[in-house]
Structure 1
Amino acid sequence: MTELVDLAPAAEQLADVVVDVTDDQLSAPTPCEGRTVGQLLQHLVGLTLAFRAAADKEVGPLTDTSPDEAGWPDAEPGWREALAHQLPALAAAWRDPAAWEGMTRAGGVDLPGQVAGLVALDEIVLHGWDLASATGQGFDCDDATAGALAEFVDGFDTDGTPGMFGPAVTVGADATPFERVLAASGRDPGWAPA
């Protein structure tokens, strides 16, 4: 197994972004086409629970539901408190080397723990950037995290994966490693609300 990736820096960064989201921003658009800030926040509430359960190998309702089944409902009351608690818990669960070993389940899909950990990282970093961009905040991704994600997203189909990622976006030779990750995931690193 390759070196474990620490989800804590990304989880902390996302938690900092969440704190500064205001109620009047919940209906604002995000880089996730057709999704609002409120819908993205509720998606984050669900995925932090699901990927913590995946790390703990607690296969059941949280890990059996695909994102398509869950849909993209609007933010429910308590999302701030939920994410303030769930993001550190998610990072802590993936600090356990056992989380990265063997098989687990997330989104109704059985997959190796190592892949599930990278998907969890991918979700909190990319959606952290989505949320920050949609609410006028910055989002920094450290080099170690960007490197781990680059290896992961380099395997994506450049034409995109319906329901997950859009087609890859072209970026200049001077793009940062994180901007390349964003572009490979179908995100325009220069996206801003209209």
Structure 2
Amino acid sequence: MDTNAVKTYGIGELLGMARERAVPVVRGIADAALAGRTPCAEYDVKALVNHVFQVVVQFQRLAAKEASDFGETPDRVAGSPEWRERLVEEVDRLVAAWSAPGAEEGTTGAMDMPARLVGSMALLDLTVHMWDLARATGQEYPGADAAVVAELAGAVDELAPTARRMGVFGEPVPVAEGASAFERLLARTGRNPYGE
């Protein structure tokens, strides 16, 4: 295979790649870890899982050009021992929604953003928050596929100024000279890829 050939992946394909990395992390979160700290200061593990649930469900709606509601985040973890498998099912629905014909075309969401960029936002959350959850629960996160990192690098370029103003991203963190592309991506969102 010619490694110089550049393949353009659809958001659905990229989300499918991220799903493969995410599912073992979700299934590896012990109930005893739910109260633990995460690299996202405002979230403990349970709150971050609920946030990921909310993102995954609402971005399915955005793929279909439907109205989304990011207001109140329901607690989908409490009282449900099956929350891990329900989250995996919702991630599967997210992949399917963004794989549907037309999902990446036009604009979507209250801010009428380009649909592909909105899909990249879902990809960013599914990738970076899974790293957060792995880090918080003592799991290894194997990084992200090169195609996913390439898509997210462009999305972070576009989103970073607004995301920093809104407090979604922290200030960039310095990285070692030999840092991987994924470590550099994490650092650009304000995460320390080498620790909390």
TM-score normalised according to structure 2 size: 0.85
For residues 114 and 179 of structure 1, what CA distance do their matches in structure 2 show? 23
Q: Which residue of 2 aligns with 1:134?
A: 136
- Runs (4+) of structure 1 moved beyond 3 Å? 71-75
Give the secondary structure class of the aligned counterpart of 2:37.
coil
Which is further off, 150-159 or 30-39? Answer: 150-159
Give the secondary structure class of the aligned counterpart of 1:70.
coil
Structure 1 residue ranges without an equivalent (≥5): none
**Amino acid aligned to 1:19:** R
- Residue 111 of structure 1, CA deviation: 1.7
CA contact (8 A) 1:171 1:180 kept: yes
- Residue 150 of structure 1, CA deviation: 1.1
Task: Specify whether residues 164 and 149 from structure 1 end up closer, same or farther in structure 2 by C-alpha distance, changes over 3 A only.
Answer: same
1:46 to 48, 51, 54: 54
Q: Which residue of 2 aligns with 1:17?
A: 25
Q: Which residue of 2 aligns with 1:95?
A: 99
**Amino acid aligned to 1:126:** V
CA contact (8 A) 1:31 1:134 kept: yes
Which is further off, 116-125 or 69-78? Answer: 69-78
- Residue 71 of structure 1, CA deviation: 5.3
**Amino acid aligned to 2:166:** P
Equivalenced residue count is 183
- Residue 34 of structure 1, CA deviation: 2.9
TM-score normalised according to structure 1 size: 0.86
- Residue 74 of structure 1, CA deviation: 8.0
- Residue 11 of structure 1, CA deviation: 1.6
Aligned-pair identity (%): 36
CA contact (8 A) 2:54 2:74 kept: no
CA contact (8 A) 1:161 1:167 kept: no
1:143 to 146, 151, 154: 146
- Residue 53 of structure 1, CA deviation: 0.9
